[in-house]
Chains A and B, each alone.
Chain A
Amino acid sequence: MKIKIYITVILLTLFFRAEGQTEELKITGDFRNISFAEFAAFIESDFSVRVFYNPVWVKDIVINISFREVSLRSAMEQLLLPDGISFYIDKTGFIVLTGKYRVKEPGVTEPLSDTMYIYRPQDDTQQLTASKDEFQIIEIGRPTDNMAGDVTISGYMRNSETGEPVIGAAFIVDEIKTGTMTNQYGYYSLTMPKGSYHAQISCLGMKTIIRQINLYATGTLDIDLKENLIPLGSVTVTTSGGYGFQKSMAGLEKLDIRTIKLIPSGMGEPDIIKTTLLLPGVQSVGEGSAGFHVRGGSSDQNLVLLYDAPVFNSSHFFGFFSAVNSDIISDIALYKGGIPAKYGGRISSVLNIVAKDGNKKEFAGTGGISPVTAHLMIEGPIIKDRTSFLLAGRSTYSNWVLKMIDDAQLKRSRIGFYDSNFRLVHEINKQNNLELSGYISHDEFKFNNDTLYSYNNIIASAKWRHIFTEKLFGVVSLNHSNYNYDITSESEKVFSFGLRHNIDYTDIKAHFTWYPNYRHQADFGVDIGRYKVLPGEIYPAGDSSLVIPSAIQRQNAISPSFFISDEINLLDNLNINAGIRLSTFFSTGPSTVYIYHPGFPRSRSSITDTIYYGRGKTAKRYIVPELRLSVNYLISNRSSVKLSYNNTAQFIHQISNTASISPTDIWVLSDTHIKPQRGEQAAIGIYTSLLNNSLELSVEGYYKRIKNIIDFKGGASLLLNENLETDIVNLNGNARGLEFMIRKSNGRMNGWLSYTYSSIMVRSATPFPEEEINSGAGFPANYDKPHDLTLVFNYIFSRRISFSSTYSYSTGRPITYPVAAYNFGGNNILHYSDRNQYRIPDYSRLDIALTIDGNLKSKKLAHSTLTFSVINLLGRENVYSIYFKTEQNIVNGYKLSIFARPIPSISYTFKF
C-alpha cells in the first residue's frame, strides 16, 4: 500500500504542471445523495483537478452536504475524515486519497500522531511517467458475486519496445502483501483469492507501473513494461527495493546492462566480468588475468552460463576482455551465496548471463568501435511480435595494426580474437516458445612465426518452453558447449608438433515451475550432462616430424542430477526457499585405471594394478546430495535478514600450475582418483534502506569450507601427463568474509561503496609428508586479498552527459619470494620461500568515464554515444607481476605494471 501511493504521488507531481494553488479553490453547491464517485466527477469537471482513489474505500460514502465558498481542502475533509480516509492535495491539481495512511510533508520533523504515514518525496527523486493503463481497472473473468476461492493470474512481462521478456520483474500485490517474480523467460504466475487488487510491477531498468485488477477467475495478464530511458536509477544492483518484498536468496547480485555500459572498465569496452569484479566478494588475481574468484573460491568454481550452457573460458586475450560481447546481454545475475537448487556443477558461484531475445517489434541494432575492437549487433522481427532474431559480432583489428608496423618480428606476429552470437526466438503460440542460440569465440596469437596458440569456445542451445497450465511452466533444453585449444609449433622440423586439448559438454535439461498458490513456488527438474574430455594430444606437424602422435586417454562421464525446491511464503514476513539437488556422476569407460599402493604417495612406481573398463562401463560413481536453504525474514518494512546454507559439488576441474589461469591449463573430470570438489557455505545478510529507500545498506557475512581443491605439484608437467593423479595434491580451504555495502540507486548521483574483509586459507590434505606443501601448514590462496574497497560513483549532469568513476583498493595478492641466493654450476640460483608467504604491494586504481549522447530524440534514425574514459587516472604503477633476474651476479627484482600510467581512450557506439 505504501509503495503504491508513494509511487502514485510521485507520478502525480510530475504528470501535469497545472498552475495555481489547488487548495485555494473554493467550492459552492448542494450535493444530495450522490456517491463519492459522482462528487469526484463533479469537481474534476468544474476545476482543473483530478481525483485518485480506491473505489473500495469510498463505496459506502453517501454525500448529503452543501458548500458555500468552502475551500477544496476543507470540503474534502468534511467528506472523507468521518470515514477515516486521508488524502493529499497537490499544488499541481491532484487530489489523492491515501486511505488510512496520512501523508507526511517534507520538512516536518515531528512524527504525526498516526503511526502510519507515507513520505512525500522530493520532487526530483524519481521521474516516472504514467501510462493511461494505470487508471484503468483490469477485469479478469466475469464479475461475480461468488468471491470465494483462489484463482491464478499468470502471463508474460515484455519490454514494450522490443517485445523481449522482462526477467526478474516483481509483481507485488499490495492487499495480500505478497507477490511473485518473472522467471528467466519473463513468465509469472500467482495464485490468490478472488478480489480487487493493486499490483505494482517493477523491474531493474524499467518504469514501475501499477495495475488495478479485479480478479474474478483464473486468467492471463501480459504486461508491457517501458524502459527507463534516462539512466537515472539504473545503477541498481539488486531488485530489492524498499518494499521489502524480496525473494529469499542471500548473496544474489544483479547488474543490468546499462550499469555495465556506464562503468569504465576496459579499453572503452563495456565488460561484464570487469564490472562483476566491482561487487563485494568478487576478486581477481590481477589486472588482465582471466577468471574471477567469488568468496574464496578458485576461478574454475564459477559456473558461467550463457544460453544455459557453461562457458569454459570466460575471457579473451588471457583476461583483458570478457568472452561475451556486452551487446547481446540484457542482464547478469551472480549467485554468490544461496545458489538455487536448479544450478549445479560448480561450488562457488553461478554467473548467469541473460542474453537478449532480439527485438520482436522492429529492426534495431548497435555498433561501435573502440581502440581494440569493432562490434555490430542487429536484431529484429522475422514475424512481427512472434519471431525475432539477433546477430552479433565483435572482432579485434590488431592483426591489421601489426601488419602496418615496420618491424619484421611484429609483422610475422598475429594476435586477435573474435566472437559471434546468434539467436532466434519464436512464439509458436501462447503456450509454446522455441529458442535457438549459438555462440562462437576464437582467440589466437603467434609471436614471430614460431608457435601459434589458438583457443575456441562454441556454444549451441535449443530450448522449448511450454505453459502446461497457468500454474505449471516448463522448459526443456538441449545445450552444448565445447572448449578447445590447439598449439602448433614449427620452429624445428623434426620437433614440429601440435598439441590439443578439448572439452565437450552436452546436457539436456527439463525444468518445471509449479505455482500452486501464492504461498508456494516449486521448482523441480532433471539435468543430464555428458562430458567428453581430451586431456591432451600431441601430433606431428609436417612430414619430417619425428614426434610420436600420442594422446592421453579420453575421459567420459555422464552426470544426471535431480532437484526440487520450494519457495515458501510461510508468513507475510518470512520467506523460505528450501531445496535439494541430487548430483550424480558416473565416470565411464573406455578407460584404464591404475591402482596405487595405498601406503605410498601415488607415483608411477607405486602402481599395483591396472584395470580396464570397457565402453560405457562405470569406473567410478559419485552420488552427492546437495542441500540448498535460504531464509528471508522481514524485520520491518525497510529491513530484512537473510540466511542461507548450501552445499555444492563439482566434478570438473581446471588444472593449472600457474598463479592465474593460462590458456594451456586443462580441464579434467573427476575419476577414480580425482575426487569431486565440495563446497559448503553458510551466510547471513542484513539489509536495510534509509532516506526514503534511496540509500540501501547491507552487511553480509559468510563462512565457507572447500574440500578437494586440486593443486599441482611444483615442477610437474601439466601437458600430456598420463598419470595426472600422481602430480596432484588435494587442498582443503576455509574462507570467511564480511561484506559491507552502501548503495544509492536513484537520483543524479548514484553508485555504491563496498568494503570486504575476507580470507581464504588452504592447506594440503595428504597423509604423506613428502606431498605436503609448506609442511602441511595453512597458507593463503593465490587470490587471497583481505581488504577490498570499491567505490562506484556516477553523476548524471543531464540526459546527454553522464560521468562515471570507479575506484578499487585491495591488499596485494600473496606471492612466493626468493629468500636466499647461491651459486651453483656457475649460475646464480634463487631459493624460494614456502608458498605464498609474502604479498605484492597493495592495489589501487581510479578509472573515470564521460559519456555523451548525441541526441535525445528517441525516434531518431541513429542514436550515437561517445565515451571518453581514462583508466588508472592516478597513474599508479600497480604490480601485475614480480619476477627476478640475475644480472651481473646480482639478483634484481622487477615489477611489471600493465596500466602504469593513465590510459585515455575513446569509443563510439551507435544505436538504430
Chain B
Amino acid sequence: MKRVVVPLISFLLMTASCITKFTPEIEGYENILVVEALLTDEYHSNYVRLSYTRPVDVSGISSPVRGASIFIEDDLGRKKYLYEKRPGYYITDSLNFQAVSGRSYKLSISTGSSDYETPFIEMLEVPGIDSVFWEFEYSDEDIIWPPLYAYQIYLNTYDPTNTCRHFRWTYEEVYEYHLPFHYPPDSKRICWITERSTDIMINNSSALEEVYVDRMPLIYLDNRKSEKLRYKYSINVKQHSITADEYLYWDRVKKISGEIGGLYDPIPMPIEGNIYSTTDPSESVLGYFSVSSVESSRLFIQNDTIKMDFAGQYCITDTLQTLDNIAGIGTHIFVLDEIDEVGFLVSIWEKCADCTLFGSNIEPLFWNDDIK
C-alpha cells in the first residue's frame, strides 16, 4: 500500500523521489540447509530437495546436498526411504509408496553430520476445483500495434463439507511455439514449452461462513508481453489442501519475498519451517515439509476464434557475405536458404532455429484433450 502512496506523494512533490540500486555489505556468511519437500497423494510427485543457501549477491542455483539418508514415516510407523535421483534431489519409489489423505507423515533426514526431522503432519482431504476460467479483455485505445488482447485466468473452488480452509495452488503452463523460419531440421520448428508457477498462491477461508474461493486470480496473459497465446495454450492447476501452519509459513514467505524492507513493510525476519535439527536444536534449517492432497483441473486457450495479432518475432536472418557478420559464432547457426531457386547461405540465431532449446518437440499426450 505504501509503495503506491510514496510514488503518488512524490509525484505531487514534483517527482523528486528516486530508486537506485544498492548493495548492502554483509559480513560473515554461513551456509544453511534448505529442505524443499513435497508429499502429496498424487502419483509421482513426492520429492525432497536438499541444498545449501548462497550469498545474496551471487546468482545461480544453490549447491545441492548429496548422499543424505532420507525417509518418510507415517503414523502407523511405516518408513519409506527416498533415493537420490539427481544430486540433491531425492524421490520416493512411486511403485511401492502412495500417501493417502487422513494419514499423518513425518520426514527424517540425516546428512551424515547432522540429523533433522519434522513433526507428524496430517494430509487433509482437498475438494475438487469448481472451475478454472478466463475473462477476456480487448483494447485498441492506444495507438500501439497490435491491439491488446488479454486473458485473466481465475479459479473458483468450493468445499461443501467446509473442512479444507487453507489452500495453495500451483500450476503448469504448456504452450505451442513455432519458430518463424522453415529451416531444416523442421522437426525442431514446433515445440511445446512448459513453465511452472513460481508465485505463492494461497488462500485462507477461515474467515468466511463457507469455504468459497471466488475468482482467485492465477495468471494474466497478453499478446504484447508474451507469445504464449499465439497458437495454443494450456494450464493445469493443482489445488493443495494445506494446514493452518503451512498457510502461515507460505504467508510469511510471501510477505518477505518480493519487495521488502520498506518502512511500511512488515519487519522481515528469519523464517524457519517445520524442520528441526535433532543434533543441534539451535541450528537454523530453512524450508518446509509440505503434506497435502491434490486435485487438478486443466484449461485450454486456442488462438483460432479470436485470431489475436502478435508483434513480429525478433528472429532475423542475415545473408552471410563476409565472416565479419558472424557475430558470436557459438550462438549462430548457418543454413542454406533458397529464394527463387537461388541459394544463399544465411546465419540465424540458434534460438531461432532450434526450439528444443526451450521446450520439447514431442506433442504432450493431453494436447488434444480439449477437442476430443
Contacts and interface: CB of A to CB of B under 8 A. Distances in A.
Contact of B267 (A720, A835, A891): A835
A548 B36 contact: no
Nearest to B199: A827
B251 to A, nearest CB: 7
Given A817-B24, A818-B268, A880 B54 contact: no
A827 B208 contact: no
Interface stretch (B56-64, B173-181, B227-235): B56-64
A498 to B, nearest CB: 14
Contacts of B286: 822, 824, 829, 831
A595 B259 CA distance: 39
Contact of A827 (B200, B212, B271): B200
Given A715-B251, A715-B271, A415 B5 contact: yes
B194 to A, nearest CB: 12
A660 interface: yes
A50 B89 CA distance: 104
A897 B22 contact: no
A559 B196 CA distance: 58
B160 interface: no
Nearest to A544: B214
A883 B256 CA distance: 10
Contacts of B26: 817-819, 833, 838
Interface residues of A, number: 86
B20 interface: yes
Task: Provide the main secondary structure of the chain A interface.
Answer: mixed
A883 B53 contact: no
Query: Chain A CB within 10 Å — which of B54, B209, B284 has the most?
Result: B54
A177 B224 CA distance: 84
Contacts of B22: 879, 882, 893-895
Nearest to B12: A398
A149 interface: no
Given A662-B2, A894-B20, A816 B13 contact: no
Contact of A877 (B20, B57, B208, B265): B20
B370 to A, nearest CB: 26
Given A546-B212, A820-B29, A895-B20, A883 B259 contact: yes
Interface in B3-50: 4-6, 8-14, 16-24, 26, 29-32, 34, 36
A731 interface: no
A882 B60 contact: no
Contact of A286 (B19, B197, B263): B263
A493 B154 CA distance: 14
Contacts of A657: 266-267
B50 to A, nearest CB: 11
A697 interface: no
Interface in B234-287: 248, 251-253, 255-271, 282, 284, 286-287
Nearest to A321: B9
A826 B5 contact: no
A895 B267 CA distance: 16
Interface in A412-438: 413, 415
A320 B260 CA distance: 21
Contact of B16 (A453, A822, A898): A898
B143 interface: no
Contacts of B207: 538, 547-548, 550, 720
B198 interface: yes
Interface stretch (A574-582, A746-754, A785-793, A899-907): A899-907
Contacts of A775: 282
Contacts of A714: 252, 266-269
Interface in A311-353: 317-318, 320
Interface in B57-105: 57-62
B269 A715 contact: yes
Contacts of A897: 17-20
A658 B32 contact: no
A659 B263 contact: yes
Given A398-B12, A658-B263, A882-B22, A899 B17 contact: yes
Contacts of B257: 827-830, 886
A492 B215 contact: yes
B248 A715 contact: yes
B55 interface: yes
Contacts of B258: 885-886
Given A286-B263, A886-B257, A826 B196 contact: yes
A546 B34 CA distance: 40
Contacts of B108: none
Contacts of B287: 822, 824
A372 interface: yes
Contacts of B31: 820
A581 B234 CA distance: 72
A809 B271 CA distance: 34
Given A714-B252, A714-B269, A895 B51 contact: no
A494 B53 contact: no
B202 to A, nearest CB: 12
Contacts of A285: 263
A665 to B, nearest CB: 10
Nearest to A495: B214
Contact of B57 (A662, A872, A885, A891): A891
Interface in B182-200: 196-198, 200
A889 B263 contact: no
A313 B154 CA distance: 40
A401 B12 contact: yes
Given A494-B214, A662-B264, A885 B208 contact: no
A730 B105 CA distance: 36
Given A715-B269, A816-B268, A820-B55, A883 B261 contact: yes
Interface in A737-778: 775
A494 B9 contact: no
Given A658-B267, A882-B261, A897-B18, A320 B9 contact: yes
B40 to A, nearest CB: 13
Given A715-B252, A877-B18, A317 B9 contact: yes
A825 B263 contact: no
A838 B197 contact: no
B1 interface: yes
Contacts of A886: 257-258
Given A495-B214, A832-B268, A885-B258, A822 B62 contact: yes
Interface in A798-837: 815-835
Contact of A901 (B2, B16, B210, B262): B16
Contact of A659 (B60, B267, B282): B267
A832 B12 contact: no
Contacts of B60: 889
B14 A371 contact: yes
A831 B262 contact: no
A447 B265 contact: no
Nearest to B10: A898
A451 B1 CA distance: 9
A744 B114 CA distance: 66
Contacts of A890: 57, 59
Nearest to B253: A829
A495 B213 CA distance: 10
A49 interface: no
12 contacts: A318-B2, A398-B12, A658-B263, A714-B268, A715-B248, A715-B266, A829-B253, A830-B260, A881-B261, A882-B22, A883-B259, A896-B262
Interface of A: 267, 285-286, 288-289, 317-318, 320, 371-372, 398, 401, 410, 413, 415, 445, 447, 451, 453, 492-495, 538, 546-548, 550, 657-660, 662, 664, 714-715, 720, 775, 782, 815-835, 838, 872, 877, 879-886, 888-901, 903
Given A372-B12, A492-B214, 15 more contacts: A288-B9, A413-B8, A547-B207, A659-B267, A822-B286, A822-B287, A824-B253, A830-B56, A830-B256, A830-B260, A831-B286, A882-B22, A889-B59, A897-B19, A898-B10
Q: Please name the 7 residue pairs, one residue from A and one from B, whose CB atoms are nearest each other, closest first.
A: A820-B53, A714-B269, A900-B18, A881-B262, A895-B22, A715-B252, A883-B261
